[in-house]
A = this chain, B = another copy of it.
Amino acid sequence: MKHPTIRDIPGGITAAKAIRASGVFCGIKKAKLDLALVVSDRPATVAGVTTVNRVKAAPVLLCERQLKAGRFSAAVANSGNANACTGPQGARDAEAMRDRLARLIGRPASEVFVASTGVIGRRLPISKVLTGIPEAFRVLSPKGGKASAQAIMTTDTYPKEAAVSFELEGKRVVIGGMAKGSGMIAPNLATMLCFVGTDAAVPAALLRRTLRPAVRHTFNAITVDGCMSTNDTVLLFANGGAGAPPLRAGTSNLAVFEEALHRVLSGLARLIAKDGEGATKLIRVAVRGSRTANDARLAATAVANSPLVKTAFFGEDCNWGRIMAALGGSGVRFDPAHVDILLDGIAVVRRGIGLGEEKERRAGVRMRRPEFTLTIDLHGGGGEAAILTSDLSEEYVRINAGYRS
């Protein structure tokens, strides 16, 4: 369902019209950008998806309350501190961030969103943040996308941006976004933070209906370590700056918008999986032939999260026995004697039996590539699903054993 008019373009959150952003250093981290602003110069609609973790950070709870009204003017996000497990003080700190930015832009506080990412359980150094917000406000720019993408990074090794443009009723419309990922990435909202802005005009209710399925097939289809974050937030806002007519349900224009949005989110999701902590490879685990799509998803997730499978990916060893064991432990019903396993198209298992060491050796050569696909066919139905994952390296342990020190 590729649409001819959708084109990848450079840039991120500020790629669309009437959006400015900035990233500054306010002193939470040691010497890296740690505070990002995103401002829509036109009032916008907004939709969001947040973590399903029972432990939610203060800014997440604030977002959830404000998303109901569906109006957006700006967002402020910090890295280096998650403002999670911080109790009533954390809630007050998140509100203080919001109120400071709302005053600066002269808009209602209910239109200003807050996000945080970093260490859980420490109070936000709020005076540094409140000093940083006006500084970040002063340097807001239509070219500030990259700096804001850098300012939300934690253990990410590069900023993550994606943008597309397409035509709607003769107008050029853009969707652009940024994300940060790296650790605590699991299929149930694997993102930590993501902001996407578009100059299309989309009513809030329609924006919500569009965002959910797009997230399901992108951010909810990647995993790094199977750990669910307390701070995951995806915000999508639409400010109508392109001048195209508002999108309506059931139209072909909406279908184009949906495809374009999927393209941006899937680009960002892919960047997150590829930049998983310590990752040296990006692996697509595709399961087909399960009884249902949900079974395929469960099976793919079990394989993608298995430390034994992931270390074998890292070791470039086509140890398909571990894949079989992970499938068998996934809770999904299938007949082991019907399973085929292929690595980048090279069959290593047919009907549950290995095809020999020569095939495994050839598959192992493919595993030296930075990206490859593991295909599992259960031959038991029409269900299919795919999960993007990374390998598990010694570097993951080094990063996470010493993260706070």
- Chain A residues close to B by CB (< 8 Å): 53-56, 82, 84-87, 119-122, 183-184, 186, 188, 225-230, 306-308, 311-312, 314-315, 317, 319-322, 324-329, 332-334, 336-337, 349, 351-354, 392-394, 396-398, 400-405
Contacts and interface: CB of A to CB of B under 8 A. Distances in A.
Contacts of A120: 319-322, 324-325
Contacts of A307: 225-227, 307, 392, 396, 400
B400 A312 contact: yes
A403 B56 CA distance: 39
Contact of A397 (B53, B326, B396): B396
Nearest 4 pairs of A and B residues by beta carbon: A120-B321, A315-B401, A55-B328, A228-B329
Q: Is the interface of A mostly helix, strand, loop or mixed?
A: loop
Contact of A324 (B84, B312, B314, B333): B84
A402 to B, nearest CB: 5
A325 B394 contact: no
A319 B53 CA distance: 18
Given A122-B354, A188-B329, 17 more contacts: A54-B329, A54-B336, A56-B336, A85-B324, A85-B336, A119-B321, A120-B321, A226-B306, A226-B307, A227-B307, A228-B329, A230-B328, A311-B396, A311-B400, A319-B404, A393-B401, A396-B397
A55 B402 contact: no
Contacts of A225: 307-308
Given A353-B86, A400-B315, A326 B394 contact: no
Contacts of A329: 53-54, 186, 188, 227-228
Contact of A55 (B311, B315, B327, B351): B327
Nearest to A120: B321
Contacts of A85: 320-321, 324, 336, 349, 352-354
Given A120-B324, A229-B325, A328-B230, A400 B308 contact: yes
B333 A121 contact: no
Contact of A227 (B184, B308, B317, B397): B308
A82 B184 CA distance: 33
Contacts of A401: 311-312, 314-315, 317, 393
A227 B314 contact: no
A402 B54 CA distance: 38
Nearest to A119: B321
Contacts of A320: 85, 120-121
5 contacts: A85-B336, A85-B349, A85-B353, A87-B337, A229-B325
A325 B397 contact: no
